[in-house]
Amino acid sequence: MFEKLIQLLNSGKTFTQYELSEQRGISPETLQSYIEYLHRKGLLSQIVMGAENTACSGSCKACAGCKACAAKQPSVMVPVLWEIKDKIEIK
């Protein structure tokens, strides 16, 4: 069930959840449940991104990197990133 997802994650590339769900042929909601399961099993780590980690010039007023927007809406537009802890062997 997870083999194709594991292969994609092991590739080292960056994917959006939409891209992963498309390549797996599942809904984004189902993919999210897979990610949560792998996280609970200790195979994925969430990378917490904050305003200080975004590549914003500070004047777009549409992302968390913009200090004006971050003060008003601290978690809007902040990406949620996941990384595989170690390459997972598929048996």
Give the CATH number of the domain where residue 22 resides: 1.10.10
Residue 64 domain flag: yes
Residue 79 domain flag: yes
Kindly provide the b/e burial profile for residues 8-31, where b requires at least 16 CB atoms within 10 angstroms of the residue's own CB: bbeeeeebeeeebbeebebeeeeb
- pLDDT tens string, the chain, 91 residues long: the values are 678 888 888 888 888 888 999 999 999 999 999 999 989 988 888 887 655 555 555 556 555 555 555 555 555 556 677 778 776 666 6
Where in the sequence is the domain holding 74, given as residue range(s)?
A: 3-84
Report how many domains make up the chain.
1
Please tell me the pTM assigned to this model: 0.62
Residue 91 domain flag: no
Residue 89 domain flag: no
Residue 23 domain flag: yes
